[in-house]
Amino acid sequence: MLTCKEQVARSSDYLDAQLTFRERLLVRHHLMFCPNCRRFIRQMRLMQATLRIMPDEPVQDADALAERLAAQRRKGV
């Protein structure tokens, strides 16, 4: 079984589907038994989703953007 440190090192590749079949199995096995790493993966997925919906250009009103992102998160978007 992977250690938490090894799991964290593979997290980005896991979320980007860049692991081999064997590596994916090792990661999933670890996640089955480690609630802290499951929480970490959930946080990384949330971060990826947030970054995908952020605009590419600088935002004039950052407070309005933060409120819009929070509202979308509450809606489950």
Domains of the chain by residue range: 1-55
The residue with tokens 């935002």 is: 59
- Cα 47–Cα 69–Cα 11 angle in degrees, nearest 5: 5
Taking only the tens of pLDDT, the chain with its 77 residues reads 899 999 999 999 999 999 999 999 999 999 999 999 999 999 999 999 888 888 777 767 888 888 888 888 888 75
- Would you state the pLDDT for residue 58? 75
Structure tokens at 61: 């009103």
Strands (E), 1-77: none
Give the gyration radius of the chain's Cα atoms: 16
**Length of the chain, in residues:** 77
Q: How far apart are CA 57 and CA 75, in angstroms?
A: 24
Sequence-distant (≥ 6) Cβ neighbours of residue 73 within 8 angstroms: 46, 50
